[in-house]
Chains A and B, each alone.
Chain A
Amino acid sequence: GAVVSQHPSWVICKSGTSVKIECRSLDFQATTMFWYRQFPKQSLMLMATSNEGSKATYEQGVEKDKFLINHASLTLSTLTVTSAHPEDSSFYICSASGGGEQFFGPGTRLTVL
C-alpha cells in the first residue's frame, strides 16, 4: 500500500509557542489529506479536510486560526498549532486520500508544557 509519513513523530513545546507538523504522501499524489486528533483511549476526531491549492475545510468546533493547514503541493500538507496550550496536547494523525482509500500516517504526539 501507499506510504504516508509524518514529521515529527513526537514534539514537546512550551505553552505559547507554535508547532508545525508535516504530512507527506511518499509514493503517490494526494489531492486531499485529512487531519485528525485522537485523545487517549478515544476515537479519531476529524479536524479538517485539506485540499491541494485551496483553503482547508474545518469541522465544526475546530478553530481555523489556531490550527492552520496548508496543502501547498500534492504530496505535502502541514498543520500548524499556533500559540499551543496544554489542552492542545494530543495525538495528531493525518491521512491521504488515494483511489478511494485512506492511507494513514504514523501520527505525531504533541505535548505542550
Chain B
Amino acid sequence: AQTVTQSQPEMSVQEAETVTLSCTYDTSESDYYLFWYKQPPSRQMILVIRQEAYKQQNATENRFSVNFQKAAKSFSLKISDSQLGDAAMYFCACYQTGANNLFFGTGTRLTVIP
C-alpha cells in the first residue's frame, strides 16, 4: 500500500524568510516519482517541483528545493525568500510507475506573513 504523510497541517513564515515543509512516504515500488504541488484559493493544482526516485541529486526550481532522503523515505520542500504569493495549500504526492497511480498527502497550509 502507498501512503504519503504530511505531519504539518499549517505552517507560517515571515516574508523573505525560509520555510521547510515535511513529507514522508511509503511505497513498495522501486520506480516512482515524488512531487510537490501548490493549490491556491482558485483550487488549480500547480506543480512546484518534481523528483525522480532514481536520481540522487536533489531537485531545485528557483526558490524551491527538496531534500530527498530515499532511505528514510523523506521528501521535504524548502522555500527560500518566501513571497506573499507562496501562500497556499501544499501537497506532497507520490506516483508509482508500475501501479500507475498518484497519491497525495493531507496537505500543509502555508501562510506568509508580510
* Chain B interface, number of residues (Cβ within 8 angstroms): 21
Inter-chain contact B104/A104, CB cutoff 8 Å: no
Known contacts A43-B107, A95-B45, A107-B44; A102 and B100 CB within 8 A of each other:
no
Cα A44 to Cα B52 with chains together (Å): 21
State the total of A-B contacts with C-beta under 8 angstroms. 47
Cα A104 to Cα B44 with chains together (Å): 7
A-B contact pairs, 19 of them (CB 8 A): A32-B100, A34-B101, A36-B104, A43-B107, A44-B104, A45-B104, A46-B102, A49-B100, A49-B101, A91-B43, A97-B100, A101-B50, A102-B93, A102-B95, A104-B37, A104-B45, A106-B42, A106-B43, A107-B43
A interface, CB within 8 angstroms of B: 1, 32, 34, 36, 38, 42-46, 49, 91, 93, 95, 97, 100-102, 104, 106-107
B interface, CB within 8 angstroms of A: 33, 35, 37, 42-45, 47, 50, 52, 91, 93, 95, 100-107
